[in-house]
Structure 1
Amino acid sequence: PADIVVTGSARAERRFDVSYAVNSLSQAEIQKLAPASMADLLGKLPGIQVEPTGGEVQNITRVRGIPTDGGYAYFQQDGLPLFHEGDGYFFRAADLQRYDLMDARMETVRGGPAPIYASQAAAIVNNLTVSGGETPKGKAQLTLGTTGLYRLDLMQSGKLGDRTYYAIGGFIRYNDGYRDNGFPNDKGGQIRANIKHDFDNGSIKITANYLNDHNVFYLPIPTADPRNPATSLNPYINYFSGTMNSPALRNVNISYLDASGSRQTLHRDLGNGRHMQFGNLGIQYDGDFNGWIVSAKAGFTKGKLSFDAFYSTTNPVDANTFANSYLGAARTAFGSGVSRIGYAIAGTNGQTAYNPSADSGLVMQGQYRAVESSFYSGQADFSLTHRFETGIGAHDVKVGLYASAYGETLFSVYQNYMVQVKGKPATLDMVAYSASGGVLGYVTDNGALNDASTLSQGNVDAKMYAVYANDTWTIAKGLRVDAGIRHEGYTFDGYALLTSTANLGNASTLADDATRRFNGSIQPHKLSPQITNWTVGANYDITRNFGGYVRASHLEIPPTATVAASVDPVILTTKANQFEAGLKASFGRSYLYLTGFYTKFNPYNASFVAFNPTTGRNDQTVPFYGDVVVKGVEMDGALHIAGGLSVAGSLTVQSPKYKNLTNTSGADPSQVNGKQIIREPKLFGNIRPNYAFDMGGNHVEIYGTYSYTSKRYVDFFNQTALPAYGTFGVGLTASRGTWQFQAVGDNITNAHGLTEGNTRTDILSGQGTGNAIYGRPIFGRNFRFILSKSW
């Protein structure tokens, strides 16, 4: 990895010299890894476990010691976020950053001083962009993939005038996808540009970003018959290519009543996926005034998200049993002449019958989610750094002020559908038939089992400020102590629209009898949380190549802005104490970093909202609060053996456990205490051998990867396991002059592995099986071929 890092320290330093875990990947190193997504890239780094199975965006990233789906990883571009919080409404801040040729390198800090240098951060991911120079440089890169991937990346940089430089680049991409939706998975791209002017003592840089991208979201699929878990559903839903996404959901109509009682109808298309559009303008200034380093950065982001996805809800069920459960309600609504409930392809007026026993004998529910959000985020950071020489060593002091004004609008509506248990399923109507086969009514409404079952809308505007300071005290050669503090104040001003039950008045169906409507009431929220984070560390380098460090940090995470735009929100500030001890050795291109960590959360919010099959709503809140303790060791190393042969890798061994959980709604958490945290493995890592050689004027590298994730659980009680899995990847790069060809293959043995489980229903009691039979499988064997030309 690159030897110089700038993230998490007062000024640029050698990676070996800092007293925390940090990695830096250059553009060339990232290209060799050829990541399929940002999550895929982060998963190659030590101490970060990912579930990259959702597609290109909205994936799960867990930082060691941090038991949350985002790991409190804070994403920055050139040291400043594009959106202040780690998560927006149905998007992660990471989704605003797509890697391309405009990224010069990426630095990741895990633990350490992250809470001082960023808000809500147990880790920082900082993408540093390309700047122009005296010599014009450019690169074009074409990527083709076996998933129907076509991608073009371009970058050009150079000189505009006297000490003024430019860089511009981006990508455009089309991808059918890893799973067969019946429509494209990813389509869109981004462009980024900057102009930089150098002064005698510093520089100023103006930046611009624009992203317009569609990405389909993969949700869990059933993999085995719940009636007989030994029976695979692979003949109906292929493990590697199957998905519940379907062309049948490209013309969805969702109706609800607004506050005035007027009927509103949305027309949605699952093929739109997650459509993210945003623009960002930024400015950065750095100057050295006789040893006083001034840094000023500011940026403003404005965008909107339109999101369509088909979420998993309950397990598949026996089709006859499920149909018979509605017989009584159908007779009440349509008369005693109802003889049976049968299935038909939705939209055929009950005339195209469907017999589930001709397939698996199962049917299932799924939840269409339609989400709209607009967002903005302005942020600015000003810092002053100076080195003071004293009688006992030197103090490198950095003080700063950060502020942000940001906000979001929130709107979502969910509608539950009946579908076949097969890939690209047809939506199904449940039809009330008479003894003679006449249609008397419908349980469903054109495939919808529950019309507009969940409805929400709100708005929030937020302001925050942070003052921070850090002092790095070099006491003697090799011995340094540093301490930092950050205080933040927030104001949230938001509201949520309240809803109630409504009947849309269609007497021919049961599906609209209990929809949600806005009832005209508003629930306002004004919050003013204050938090204080701190860190203390010490570093002692015995030699220039061997040393160690210790560190303690305190992290507080305030409620997110969306809390102030939610109905009856849980308002909780999460607090965590982190302790680390590290050993480090660096000899030329070989190195070894060992970091022991201990993290305790108190209080920790383990609450969740579950799907209620009785109401069809996501209205079952199960509140768990208490302590979480995670301890373990992170290992990161590389060994250059001889010539062009080398091996790199990382391994994290940890013990993630719940402790002292409490519940305020009658659930007994005593059997949860001491159990492994949901979806957190005890061991994960990878090993990456590499052999480089020259042949016939070409520089060739052959490399491989083995990645491993140990057993996890889908539920608090550890009753249903996600089995351990490992995957092999291979790659080859051949370079000749300014041309380069690369071939990369992932999961080349088609190894099986499940992630997530079915989080809408199985978190509390599992799936009724020892091993999960419902989840997001890892992607099957696929290859990418990359041809690039530099100039």
Structure 2
Amino acid sequence: MNFFKSRVSTCVSVAAIAVCTFAVPVAAQDAKPMTAWEASRTVDEGDMVTTGVARGRDRLNSATSTSAIKENDIISIAPRSLAELFRNIPGIRVNASTGEVGNSYTVRGLPLVNDGSKYIQIQEDGLPVLEFGDLLTLTPDTFVRADLNVAQVESIRGGSASTFASNAPGGVINLISKTGEVEGGSVMATIGVDFESYRTDFDYGAKLGNGWRFHVGGFYREGEGPRETGMNSMRGGQVKFNVTKQFDGGYIRVYGKLLDDKVPGFINTPLLVTGTNGDPSFADPIGLDSRTSSPLSPNLPASLRLGASGTPTEIDLSEGTRAKAKSLGFDAQFSLGEWSVTNRFRYADQSMRNVILFPSAAAPAAAFATRFGGPGARLTYAAGARAGQPFDASGNGLLTLSFIADSDASDVSNMTNDLRLSRVWNVGGGDLTTTAGLYRSSQEYVSEIGFTTFFQDTIGGGQSVPVNLTTATGIPVTQGGVLVYGSAGGFGNSKNTDLNYQVTAPFGSFNFAKGKFAIGGSMRWDKLRVRGNIINDSGSKPFDINGNGALSVPESRVTFIPVGVSFPVNYNHDYLSYSLSMNYRMSEPFAVFARYSRGGRAGADKILFTPAVSTVTGALVNSVAGNDTLRQAELGLKFRQDGIVLNLTGFYALTDETNSQITTNPVTGLTQLATVARSYKAYGLEFEGGIRRGPFSLTAHATYTEAEIDAAENPALVGNIPRQQPKLLWGLRPQFDSDQFSIGANIIGTTGSFAQDVNVLRLPAFTTVGAFAQFRPMERVELSVNASNLLNERAITSISEGAIPASGVVMGRTMYGRTVSASARFFF
């Protein structure tokens, strides 16, 4: 029997169960469910839209651009991070270069001015993980892990995301959990073949009778990880659970999550560059592979800074990024007469300690020595077996100036509630669906961030050590390699924030469908209330930060935050979003749609410490900076018949942006932070398609984008292409399935782009090839091998410099190189 048969009924789809239950009585829910073993070999052809819309409906009846990655596809892709998984979503541009967390996401040419996901909201089970996706050193993927709990990943780009989610005008990516419809579960053990990683995943779900069901799952892993760090950099896991009571006309579900996971934290790696700005050639320095290694090392200094209490705070780089979360929520759907009521609530107690190594600049050692120590300055090793010996330039000859960004986000908890009431009216021979709702969230943001700047040799493999600098007369410039107990080059200040963001957003929508036509509209009024205090550092002062009773040169200029001094933040801001749409179902397999939307995104922390907020009253001085506006037009067509799916959407977007941007000082080469206020334009085509013929299947996606800067604080940038924005993103995933085995590939590519907005230095195009093979030697056993970036492509996602510097060394971010893993999965 061929278990890879089509399942047409959408009620089989895990994501659509919540919608189908309005019409399915309890007796039907107690029917014999599909087992986990059967589900793992069954093609789920459910095509319902449930994310970013008022009510779930067939994709061809919805004027939206949506996609879904199903559970079995996630298992095949075997992503090393959430970012690698999201690269498979049409229209989404992902800079998947910082590892497990801290990656950047944008959509359809919208600007990626800073890190994070400013215009895309990442959700779990329909509610945001963080209210804002681009808080300083804090991104939503910090608190999300894709494991066996995930039933599917839904996404919506543009469109109704503007009015059915706050602060998400570009789109929503929603990880939807399993809820026990499938009987049984599995245990999967995975090891890294060519990298150190040991991981165990499990999940189990079952029906308990009388309408009750449950699901529980999670993972634990440890190891050095896909890049060499010289440490056990990855350790931790999560457990998720939910219990559902199904009843006639609806359900109620209680769910929770425990997450405690540590991953390595570093940004940038030195790259050698030759050739011209228009046709550069990049290579790795001797001894440091940008794909499989890192500048991280247990020999490097710890973060040592003055905290808000005025006492030193010390933490080792081995702490990496450690995320903790404890969440509890409920999800309910039920009927009140002709009205359908949906309420989602979650409270998440979240915190993060983020100790990131940020290599800021690299150059020939002699040049750095002269720049910071004067003529005749000398370099010596500050740790390791050669401590005290002269620096050996016979290797790659490079010295790196790095800083540790130590961010202690002790409280980033949030409470979120989304209430919706819907009713279908019979009007003029058609169906008028109306929805009214109220969204309420409270986002805490309590964070301290400080910096430690030091020299290190440019070596990988977990072997790098700090380097000391002395003047020609023997005066120490550094202490244990540390140049400044703070930041150098203007990257940023030590700062503390203690803020609460409250969002209250009433919203409503209508959709009138008659025959083949449907028209719709929606509005959302976001009201933001911000209260709290912030403080920047007040320069530097002499301080014996290591407590040895003597002041070194670096200790003569220790960055400090004045104790008991702060500035208020006290403002309210509101903005209106709306969306209008039309959908025409020309025939059973074919539909066309059009949509125009205006959405907003609140300024959040990027307008703090700027003239936009008064340091005296905390009021919002510049109301324009209170939110960024995104206007979008879409025109699309959809086709689905006989195993063929084709979707094509044309888009046009205008974005107003206020933000801060990491750039490089053209004189010193050091990384710095600059404030930008710009307008952007983007237009293009987004394609998604798939075909299945017997055991063969092929899915594909491509997004062509023309983007430019329309207005800028620097007039010379107007008309330029935004940095790191390629013309084309594309992907192919061919697959062959049989009873005994499955094989396939996952090919994702991007064309070239400019490193920075000045449009001088070009980033090369790259294509990553993944491959997988699954073998089922017996009932309920599956063995698999998965390779990511099989050809070991040097996939450069960003370069800090706008042009090739005289040193021939730039600071870049690259994706993981080749990693191969093997898994054994047992079903029960």
Same structural fold, with TM-score higher than 0.5 when normalized by the shorter chain:
yes
- Structure-1 separation of matches of 2:345 and 2:608: 26
State which of 537, 552, 572 in structure 2 corresponds to 1:528. Answer: 572
- Structure-2 separation of matches of 1:412 and 1:626: 27
Which residue in 2 is equivalent to 1:739? 781
State which of 681, 702, 706 in structure 2 corresponds to 1:629. Answer: 681
| Residue correspondence of structure 1 range 67-78 to structure 2 within 5 A | 67-68=111-112, 69=115, 70=117, 72-78=119-125
- Structure-1 separation of matches of 2:694 and 2:817: 34
SS of 2:820 mapped into structure 1? strand
State which of 5, 20, 43 in structure 1 corresponds to 2:64. Answer: 20
Q: Is the 8 A contact 1:720 1:771 kept in 2?
A: no
Report the CA distance shift for 1:155/1:501 in structure 2 as closer, same or farther (over 3 A).
same
Q: Is the 8 A contact 1:401 1:466 kept in 2?
A: yes
Query: Is 1:410 the equivalent of 2:454?
Result: no
| Residue correspondence of structure 1 range 274-423 to structure 2 within 5 A | 274-314=321-361, 316-327=362-373, 340-346=376-382, 352-373=388-409, 374-423=411-460
Amino acid at match of 2:537: T
Query: Is 1:726 the equivalent of 2:767?
Result: yes
Shift of 1:492: 0.2
Report the CA distance shift for 1:721/1:12 in structure 2 as closer, same or farther (over 3 A).
same
Q: Encode CA deviations 1:561-607: one digit per residue, 9 max, x unaligned.
A: 57558897684421110000001111122111000000011x32254
Shift of 1:281: 0.6
Query: Is 1:595 the equivalent of 2:595?
Result: no
Q: Is the 8 A contact 1:120 1:557 kept in 2?
A: yes
Shift of 1:449: 0.9
SS of 2:46 mapped into structure 1? coil
- Structure-1 separation of matches of 2:173 and 2:139: 13
- Structure-1 separation of matches of 2:438 and 2:132: 17
- Structure-1 separation of matches of 2:185 and 2:290: 41
SS of 2:412 mapped into structure 1? strand
- Structure-1 separation of matches of 2:135 and 2:258: 18
Q: Encode CA deviations 1:674-706: one digit per residue, 9 max, x unaligned.
A: 111111111111112222234xxx2x2221122
Q: Is the 8 A contact 1:226 1:317 kept in 2?
A: no
Provide structure 2 residue ranges, at least 5 long, that are not aligned to the other structure: 1-44, 488-492, 545-549, 614-621
Task: Between 264-273 and 410-419, report the one with greater CA deviation.
Answer: 264-273
- Structure-1 separation of matches of 2:372 and 2:130: 47
Q: Is the 8 A contact 2:543 2:558 kept in 1?
A: no
Q: Is the 8 A contact 1:201 1:289 kept in 2?
A: no
Q: Is the 8 A contact 1:445 1:451 kept in 2?
A: no
Which residue in 1 is equivalent to 2:306? 256
Over the matched positions of the two proteins, sequence identity in percent amounts to 22
SS of 1:518 mapped into structure 2? coil
| Residue correspondence of structure 1 range 137-148 to structure 2 within 5 A | 137-146=184-193, 147-148=195-196
Query: Is 1:676 the equivalent of 2:717?
Result: no
Which residue in 2 is equivalent to 1:335? none
Query: Is 1:168 the equivalent of 2:255?
Result: no
SS of 1:321 mapped into structure 2? helix
- Structure-1 separation of matches of 2:606 and 2:803: 29
Query: Is 1:44 the equivalent of 2:88?
Result: yes
Q: Is the 8 A contact 2:445 2:500 kept in 1?
A: yes
Which residue in 1 is equivalent to 2:239? 191
State which of 531, 544, 554 in structure 2 corresponds to 1:511. Answer: 554
Task: Between 766-775 and 376-385, report the one with greater CA deviation.
Answer: 766-775
Q: Is the 8 A contact 1:8 1:113 kept in 2?
A: yes
Q: Encode CA deviations 1:75-108: one digit per residue, 9 max, x unaligned.
A: 2222122333324442222332211122222211
SS of 1:53 mapped into structure 2? coil
State which of 738, 748, 753 in structure 2 corresponds to 1:693. Answer: 738
SS of 2:603 mapped into structure 1? coil
Task: Between 675-684 and 501-510, report the one with greater CA deviation.
Answer: 501-510
State which of 629, 638, 655 in structure 1 corresponds to 2:706. Answer: 655
SS of 2:72 mapped into structure 1? helix
Task: Between 361-370 and 528-537, report the one with greater CA deviation.
Answer: 361-370
- Structure-1 separation of matches of 2:746 and 2:385: 53
Shift of 1:407: 1.1
Query: Is 1:30 the equivalent of 2:74?
Result: yes
Report the CA distance shift for 1:382/1:767 in structure 2 as closer, same or farther (over 3 A).
same
Amino acid at match of 2:306: Y
Shift of 1:26: 2.1
Q: Encode CA deviations 1:382-436: one digit per residue, 9 max, x unaligned.
A: 11010001115221111101111221211011111111122142101112465xx
Shift of 1:524: 0.9
Amino acid at match of 1:324: T
State which of 441, 451, 470 in structure 2 corresponds to 1:431. Answer: 470
SS of 2:823 mapped into structure 1? strand
Query: Is 1:578 the equivalent of 2:632?
Result: yes
Shift of 1:14: 1.7
Report the CA distance shift for 1:677/1:767 in structure 2 as closer, same or farther (over 3 A).
same
Shift of 1:472: 0.9
Which residue in 2 is equivalent to 1:269? 316
Report the CA distance shift for 1:34/1:361 in structure 2 as closer, same or farther (over 3 A).
closer
* Normalised TM-score (structure 1): 0.90
- Structure-2 separation of matches of 1:2 and 1:136: 19
| Residue correspondence of structure 1 range 50-61 to structure 2 within 5 A | 50-61=94-105
Shift of 1:348: 8.5
Shift of 1:327: 4.4
Which residue in 1 is equivalent to 2:16? none
Shift of 1:555: 0.9
Which residue in 2 is equivalent to 1:331? none
- Structure with more relative contact order (C-alpha pairs < 8 Å, separation 6 or more): 2
Report the CA distance shift for 1:469/1:348 in structure 2 as closer, same or farther (over 3 A).
closer
Report the CA distance shift for 1:345/1:582 in structure 2 as closer, same or farther (over 3 A).
same
Report the CA distance shift for 1:272/1:479 in structure 2 as closer, same or farther (over 3 A).
same
Amino acid at match of 1:515: V
SS of 2:122 mapped into structure 1? strand
Amino acid at match of 1:593: N
Query: Is 1:605 the equivalent of 2:658?
Result: yes
State which of 771, 778, 783 in structure 1 corresponds to 2:815. Answer: 778
Which residue in 2 is equivalent to 1:216? 264
Which residue in 2 is equivalent to 1:666? none
Q: Is the 8 A contact 2:143 2:324 kept in 1?
A: no
Shift of 1:137: 1.5
Q: Is the 8 A contact 2:196 2:225 kept in 1?
A: yes
SS of 2:377 mapped into structure 1? strand
Which residue in 1 is equivalent to 2:510? 471
SS of 1:19 mapped into structure 2? coil
Query: Is 1:242 the equivalent of 2:293?
Result: yes
Q: Is the 8 A contact 1:403 1:465 kept in 2?
A: yes
- Structure-1 separation of matches of 2:212 and 2:628: 46
Q: How many residues align?
A: 751
Q: Is the 8 A contact 2:292 2:818 kept in 1?
A: no
Structure number having the greater strand percentage: 1
Report the CA distance shift for 1:646/1:442 in structure 2 as closer, same or farther (over 3 A).
same
Amino acid at match of 2:417: A
- Structure-1 separation of matches of 2:806 and 2:774: 44
Shift of 1:513: 3.0
Q: Is the 8 A contact 2:415 2:441 kept in 1?
A: yes
Q: Is the 8 A contact 1:450 1:616 kept in 2?
A: no
Amino acid at match of 1:529: H
Amino acid at match of 1:460: L
- Structure-2 separation of matches of 1:184 and 1:721: 36
